[in-house]
Every structure is written in structure tokens, then in C-alpha cells.
Amino acid sequence: MRSMKNIFELSGVKYGIPAEYKGTGRDDVKLLSIDPISGKYSRTKFAGIGNHLSSGDTLVFNNSMIVPSSFKLYSTRQKKYVTVNIGYSESGYIAEFRDINKAVEKGERFIFSDMSYLEAGEPLEQFPRYRNIILSDNFNLEIEEKAIGRYIKYEDRMPDFPESTYRNVYATVPGSVEYPSASRPFTEYIIDELKRKGVNMVNITLHCNLGSLDATEFTGKGRLLPEYYTVSDESAFILNRALELGGRIIAVGTTAVRAMATVYDGRFNPGSGYTDIFINQNTETGVDGLITGMHDPTTSHIKLLEAFVDISLLESAYETGIDSGFAWEEFGDSTMILPHLKHKIK
């Protein structure tokens, strides 16, 4: 069997293309279904996801919407344009200087289209790929996003897609700097079909910060970059009602899991704030199953998946997905980790 560290490489780095650019529907992507209780997995179409869900199940969607946070800015010191991705911290903004991190110096200025600028500060202590930044007094992020902002891409070779490509059914709250893409295959038709079947829907918010950390960055640190979340009173009530009735709670996306685990202590508590929670197989999440994309095994996402499925089963299922031509990342195919029996993982 292939080792997890080589699976992504052996996949040929096959990135997904938005379904609408292939003349198909968003729900025409493939679905890798894994049952952590029986140890079985299967390949099917996402359009048939209703066959795996039952009345009383609750799907939890992240309603955060991506904003254009990638900019081509002019470095006054290096005399060239470079890609700068802007994220956030609890106290301000941070940035990733794509491909030139090691060449950036503290105090170096990068100029926006209206001649406002950002100034590179110190690297973050635990995650030095990112730097604190200082913004000029005349800087307006919302204006710059509309003027020259682009959407952050996982793969630089991918073209720039229009705004509509990044809009999901429940995405209504702007704030993510990277695409919370797990709910992308859910069309209005599928949502209506699931509601008729008795599947409940609930929204929470977690604004995705800059990219998933590589293994060398997160190992041993027990935390990730902070991300802002909100779990409303109504959402907490619905989730706790599902706990009481014994229905399965299924997160749509690893981002939803992070928000829910942050407020879970045997019950779900409403609240908002920043979370840097790092989830692994020892984390109590309150979540029974997960619908997500195909994740690079070298990133922190894989450790989160281990909260739902044994790594050896995940490895075997991923290998099957690769052999079946599954595509990766935000426009790729989907994975569902869900016990087919009505009892909890956690």
C-alpha cells in the first residue's frame, strides 16, 4: 500500500476544474464514501448523496463567503510586482508573500493601485511563513479588493475564475480569504431533495484564514492560525436538539468542524470569537460525520480527518480514489466520512 506522504504526489497533482467549465453540473463530481464503523468505502456520484442520508440527520454548513484577498503589488525595494495574499489576526492583518518570503525584509513596502501601501513586519513566531503587516493610513481593503483583488488559488497554474464560481448555496457572510469549498457540490436541487427527505440544515460561520499549514509547520505546535467563528443561539439550539434525538450531525467542510469543536463541551454553546483549535483523533467535536474535499495528506486537514476515521482506512480509500481518477483541492471531488449505522463516532 502507498504511504500517505506519497499519495498526493502519486495522484499526478490532478487539480479539479469547476464543473461548469466542463459542461456538467456542480453535483456531477465524484464522491468517495467511507464508513468508519464497517471499514468499507465506495465510489459514487455526489448527486446521489441523498442515498447516504436519513431523516433526522443534520447537515452543518459554513456560510462564510470568500473575498478577493490576493494582490499583485509593487515592491519598492525589489523593483518588481509580487503576489501578496492578505489574511488576518486577532489584532490586525497578516500576509503571505508568495514565492518571495525569504527575500522580504522588515520595513519593505508594497504599493497598491491608489498608492496606499503595506509594510512588512516581523514573521509570526510560530508560523514564520506569514508576516505581520502595517497598513498606511489611506489604505482601504474593501476598495482594493474590488479594484485589484483576486481570489487566492491553491495552484498558481489555475486561471482566475469569476466571482460566480466561488458562490455556494449557503455562502452569505463575506470574510474568508481562502475558499470554503466543501459545500460547492450542493445544488439547490439537492438541498430541496434532502429537505423533503427530512434532513435538517443549519448554518455556522468560520472565516477561512490563509492556507492550510504544511506538516513541518503545524507538527508539535497544537494550534493553527486564528479564524473568526460565530455559532448563533438558533444554530446551537438545532444542534443540541439533534444530540437529544440521536440524529447524526454531519459537518460540511473541515471549517465547520473547527467552529463546532470550539463551542462543544458535551453540548453546543452559542458564541463568537477567534479559534486556533487544532483537531486530531483525540478531539471531542460533537460531530458524527464529515463531507469534505480531497485533501493533500501533508497538510493539517489530514490530522482533522483522523478525528473521524482511522488513518489506515483513509489511506486505503484515498488510494482507491486516486486510482479512480479523483481530482483534488477546491474544484475537485468529494469525500464523505459517515457511519452508515445510527450511532455516534464521538
Q: Say if 80 falls within a structural domain.
A: yes
Domain-ending residue, one of 148, 169, 201 = 148
278-301 exposure pattern, b = at least 16 Cβ within 10 A, e = fewer:
bbeeebebbbbbbbbbbbbbbbbb
Identify the CA nearest to 213 among candidates 128, 138, 313. Answer: 128
- Find the CATH number of the domain harbouring 303: 3.40.1780.10
Euclidean distance between CA atoms 75 and 81, whole angstroms: 6
Q: Are 208 and 90 in a shared domain?
A: no
Domain-ending residue, one of 148, 183, 209 = 148
**Would the pTM count as exceeding 0.85?**
yes
As for how many domains the chain has, the answer is 2
Q: Are 47 and 90 in a shared domain?
A: no
Q: What is the pLDDT along the chain (346 residues), one digit of tens a residue?
A: 444 444 444 344 467 789 888 889 999 999 999 999 999 999 999 999 999 999 999 999 999 999 999 999 999 999 999 999 999 999 999 999 987 777 899 999 999 988 999 999 999 998 988 999 999 999 888 888 888 999 998 666 778 899 999 999 999 999 999 999 999 999 999 999 999 999 999 999 999 999 766 656 666 778 889 999 999 999 999 999 999 999 999 999 999 999 999 999 999 999 999 999 988 888 999 999 999 998 776 666 777 888 899 989 998 998 888 888 888 888 989 999 999 755 444 4
How many CA atoms lie within 13 Å of 123's alpha carbon, on the beta-carbon side? 12
- Please give the residue range of the domain that contains residue 83: 70-148
Q: Say if 214 falls within a structural domain.
A: yes
